[in-house]
Amino acid sequence: MGTISKRGLAALAVASVLPLAFGSFSAAFAKDKVKIAFVGPLTGAISPHGIGGRNSAELAVKLMNAEPNAKYEYELVVLDDECKPNVGVQVVTKIASDRSIIAAIPHYCSATAIATVDIFNRFKMPMVVWAAVLPEITYAKKYPEVHRVSGILIGQNRIGAQFMKARGYKKFVSFADSTDYGKSMNKYFTQFTLENGNEILGSFSVPPDQQDLSAELTKIKELNPEVIYFGGLTPLGARLRTQMAKFGINAQLEGNSGIMGDAFVNAAGPELAEGTLTFFDSPPMSKMPGGKMFSDAYKAAGYSEPPEAYGPFAYVATRLVMETIEKVGPDRAKVTADLGDVKDRPSIVGPVTFDDHGQNITPLTTSYVVQDGKWVVWEESEYVSGKRKLKNLP
């Protein structure tokens, strides 16, 4: 065995110590990775909304990860619920049973959300709904895990009924999809419209994927309403508008948050969409407290798809979950407890305050009308000045 020189020994010592030193050095700067899940319809007819929400949630994660003071590095696990309750149950069970995922930002579609709330409760996984507006999601049961930043459809229908009464409309027909969401829309539309002393000539309910509406529209034409109320989502809404025109039905179309967004105007076409009314629980992005920041950041991120109406809410829900994890750590029970106490939390859509059912109580219902292929706030539209007119005004 040969001898080792002093210099060789020193080099060996340095060589053996260096990796340890660098290891501990980099470990001091590495952040723990925390997984959160986003669930929405990424395929199928509702996918423009799901993709807009996904991009917005992803943007929130990117911006948080870029913050030097953030304690954790966040990873967004994205899953597709196809806007189908059975698929929603599968994907939510998958993420809820994965203990490495701390919280979820789920669902655009109410029919899917109402099918999965029990799973979040059973697996004790905190979540913040980003879009689905069915009241029962938060109010049917008192689950501490369930929260929602978007509004509920009761307010939209109340404001909508008042709006139509103020314009002098009296004769309505209801056309809703046959999901829980559509039924609930029809229920509150009927309640507020009748309370206002107006008349509902008929109510129609069709599956959301029904293509042929000719039999229903024939009956509606016979009833000759001034207004057709629509309670459903974009694909069926656009189909209704297209086929109304083909049947020569000149009624005013009254929608709600289900058709809010660029996707409806694109699917129906700007000409047919013109004058469609909608009541949505948020002011336009330009009037949101952080609307400009969100809009600029979204543009800078280079997404090719628009955020759609609920993108800012997906951003807020994701941001809220991450802020809570920053505060209490990546622990499901602690995150659930802390989300329950959210009051006047600043966000890009305005302050978020959860009531005792986890429902954000501060959304502002705003009336919109399609003008030249864009959703415009009613008060700022040419319909107010009288330059353009709604259909069938009495």
Partner 1 sequence: MGMIGQHLLNGLMQGTIYGLVAMGFTIFFGVMNVIKFSHGDVLTLGAFGGLVAVWAANALGLSVPLQFIVALCVAMALTAVVGAGISHFLIMPLRNAPPLNMLLMTMMVGTAIREAIRLFFPNGTNPQRFPELLPAGGFNIGPSFFRTDAIILIIAGAASIGAVYWIINHSKFGLAMRAVAEDTETARVMGIDFGRIIPLTFALGSITAGFAGMIYALYYSEINYSMGLLLAVIGFTAAIVGGLGNIWGAIIGGYLFAGLQTFVVAAMPSMSDYKNVFAFVLIIVLITWRPTGLLAERGSERV
Decide whether 202 or 351 has the Cβ nearer to partner 1.
202
Cβ contact 241:272 at 8 Å: yes
Decide whether 107 or 148 has the Cβ nearer to partner 1.
107
CB of 242 to partner 1, least distance (A): 5
In order of 110, 121, 164, 182, the CA distances from 128 in angstroms are 13, 12, 33, 22
Strand pairing of 171-177 and 227-231? parallel
Chain Cα centroid distance, residue 215: 32
CB of 246 to partner 1, least distance (A): 6
CB of 216 to partner 1, least distance (A): 6
Residue 5 buriedness (CB in 10 A; 0-12 / 13-18 / 19+) = exposed
CB of 109 to partner 1, least distance (A): 15
Decide whether 117 or 268 has the Cβ nearer to partner 1.
268
Decide whether 274 or 338 has the Cβ nearer to partner 1.
274
CB of 221 to partner 1, least distance (A): 7
CB of 314 to partner 1, least distance (A): 19
Decide whether 305 or 338 has the Cβ nearer to partner 1.
305
Euclidean distance between CA atoms 192 and 161, whole angstroms: 6
Residues binding partner 1 (CB under 8 A)? 43-45, 47-48, 178, 202-207, 209, 211-212, 214-216, 218-219, 221-222, 235, 238-239, 242-243, 246-248, 267, 269
Decide whether 251 or 339 has the Cβ nearer to partner 1.
251
